[in-house]
Amino acid sequence: MRDAYIVTAVRTPGCKSARGTFKDTRPEDLLSFIVSAAVERTPNIEKKDVEDFAIGCAFPEAEQGLNIGRVGAQIAGFPDETSGFTINRLCSSGLEAIAGATLRVRAGWSEIVIAGGVESMTMVPMAGNLPRPHPEYSKIHAALWGNMGNTAETVATRYNISRQAQDEFAYKSHMKATEALNKKLFKEIVPTPAVKYVMQKDGTYKKETFIIDYDDGIRPETTVEGLAKLRAVFSVGGTVTAGNSSQTTDAAGAAVIMSEDKVKELGIKPLAKVKCYTTVGCRADEMGVGPKYAIPKLLKIAGVDLKEVGLFEINEAFASQALYCIQELGIDMAKVNIHGGAIALGHPLGATGAKLTATLLSNMREKGVKYGVESMCVGGGMGAAALFELCD
């Protein structure tokens, strides 16, 4: 198989659902904007050159329904000939899209594909608008449909992750994100239009657009003491709180993936390539441990030692599961989520994989790191992981 390269990887800011800056911005508009921005930031290509879209979305219904991969491309002004599809592997949907698009290009089926993800957790709630668990099977395997917070409590209890450790982890996430924000280190963010509706004197509402260029869930004022005062939300006497869990978020991300022949033809300097991608299943009631299994499997397939990996983006769905996986694998904490993670920056489900790819590649370039790993737990009891190699 031939080589395929990521030549551009960008994201919108991540904004708090229901209360954040994107609460009135439709997901199709977030997606159409970021894919257009990806093309604009890629030298020597136009929208007509993109053959297909692979877009991750965890709950592709309502505003995100009817194949948002195709709808987003059309709203963005890509020609009718540019096709598009939507893929769902819950929390790893955006990364699944990037991996799948890479394989498509490597196989010679396409020359240029845009892959990414989108989620409006404001407009489409967790579990969707009309969840219908299987009436018999859900009685014996409830964790497949259960609240992810309960699985985080299970991990904390089963593997002795203390409340204090979780709160300290959450605090550090906010502090790293605050420092990165102040130093303008989120170079992968594209300032993005947001919508708000302003009441007029006659009682009608006027749609107004403004620009946001930062993740609005970062809390610089966070303290360990303040986090310790929060009550557990998933279990009486538990340890998982809103403060040491990821924020529900609205966001989108996109990457332009191109064949080696096309890179050479257009004279483009590629950013990185997907060296390997894998998934693995685990017990649904402790789905958060997924990265513990996915990362070793990934590195074994790729023939790369853990010590060779310079940076990690491990999704902070919950402090309990992220902390457990990092400790079990013996990963140097200084290499993990160096600009903060989902506890501070948000977890926009189907967009997270694309969001983390943009962040990881930006940080790899900043630090001159050859190998970077992105990993996350996945609802239903899975883990996903990808190995990226920075191009010289």
Q: 52-56 and 83-87 as β-strands: parallel, antiparallel, unpaired?
A: parallel
Which two tokens mark 103? 């394989």
Does the active-site annotation cover 57?
no
Could you write out the three-class secondary structure of 116-183? EEEEECCCCCCCCCCCCCCCCHHHHCHHHCCCHHHHHHHHHHHCCCCHHHHHHHHHHHHHHHHHHHHC
Could you write out the three-class secondary structure of 292-351? HHHHHHHHHHHCCCHHHCCEEEECCCEHHHHHHHHHHHCCCHHHECCCCCHHHHCECHHH
Which two tokens mark 279? 């998934």
Q: What's the rounded Cα separation, in Å, for the pair 151 and 322? A: 12
Q: What's the rounded Cα separation, in Å, for the pair 220 and 183? A: 13
Does the active-site annotation cover 377?
yes
From the candidates 91, 276, 282, 325, give the one annotated as an active-site residue.
91
From the candidates 57, 276, 325, 377, give the one annotated as an active-site residue.
377
Which two tokens mark 86? 């939507």
The residues, ordered by sequence, that sit 6+ positions from 372 with a Cβ below 8 Å of its Cβ are: 272, 309, 310, 311, 312, 313, 360, 361, 363, 364, 387, 388, 390
Residues found in the chain: 392
Contact 379, 216 (CB under 8 A): no
From the candidates 174, 325, 339, 347, give the one annotated as an active-site residue.
347
The DSSP 8-state label assigned to residue 354 in this structure reads H
SS3 state at 192: strand
Does the active-site annotation cover 91?
yes
The residues, ordered by sequence, that sit 6+ positions from 307 with a Cβ below 8 Å of its Cβ are: none
Give me the active site residues, please: 91, 347, 377
